[in-house]
Every structure is written in structure tokens, then in C-alpha cells.
Amino acid sequence: MIHSAPRQGRESTPVWQAAKEGRLELPYCPACGKFEWPARRTCSTCGGETVMKQCAGTGTLLTFSVIHRAVNPELASATPYVVAFVVLDEGARIFTNIVDCDPATLKCGQPVRCRFEETKDPDLWVPVFTPA
């Protein structure tokens, strides 16, 4: 599928920039030991600055939906595609796509692994997951 280009210059940009370089990085508060998703520059608990922390890219499929009717006309030809929440081994829960799979065989709780896909903005890539 073709991912629409994320808007630039916002809290999410560092996530996409790291993804382009092949790293899964998420905002993390070292003081609280917590990730922030949705991403933000300051910690939602203590207000301190977050840092971008690299994750291994392995995790578990928490829940997923197989989209048969896309609302974005550009994605109509990509159906059926899968949106999901994945819990990373480091503890963060993120929204993503599950790709390279038969959606009928997916199961909640199964292990998944991260890879990266390009968006319509050549500078920004997004992390997606495949069955591990």
C-alpha cells in the first residue's frame, strides 16, 4: 500500500526520520521509564524532555482489523489491508500495519517483527510489521 505522507515538522517526524534510516525509535522518558504514544516531545507524566529510544523491532500483535472498505480513495486498491496495535518487547504500544501476510491466518498474541515502508514523502518512512 502507498502510505500518505505524514505532515512534517511535528512530534512524529523523528519517528519517521529514524524509520527511513532503518531504526525503530520512539519518544521515551528516562526518568519515568515510559514510552509516549502518540508521540510528544515532553513526558506526559513528569513533563521532562523525552529522548528517542531505539527498540529492537520485535513485539506481539495485540489486536487487528482487516479493512475491506478504505475511506481514502488512494487505498481502495490496497484492500484488504490490516491495521493493528502492536506491543513492542520494550513495552510501547503502537498503531501500525501488518503486511506480507494472509490476514485470515493472523492471531492476537502472535509475534511480529518490524520493517520499514516508504510514504509519498521521499524523506519519511513508516514502521510496519510482519508475522515473525
Contacts 24+ apart (CB under 8 A), 77-83: 78/1, 78/2, 81/1, 82/106
Q: Which is nearer to another protein, 21 or 71 (CB)?
A: 71
Task: Give the one residue of 32, 52, 87, 99 binding Zn ion; rule: CB under 5 A.
Answer: 32
Q: Which of residues 23-82 bind another protein (CB under 8 A)?
A: 37-39, 62-73, 75, 78, 80-81
The DSSP output letter for 120 is S
| Phi, psi values for residue 49, rounded to 5° | -70, 140
Q: At CA 28, angle to CA 26 and CA 32, rounded to 5?
A: 160
Residue 51 in the binding site for Zn ion (CB under 5 A): no
For another protein, the binding residues (CB under 8 A) are 1, 3-7, 10-12, 15, 37-39, 62-73, 75, 78, 80-81, 83-85, 93-97, 103, 108-109, 119, 126, 128
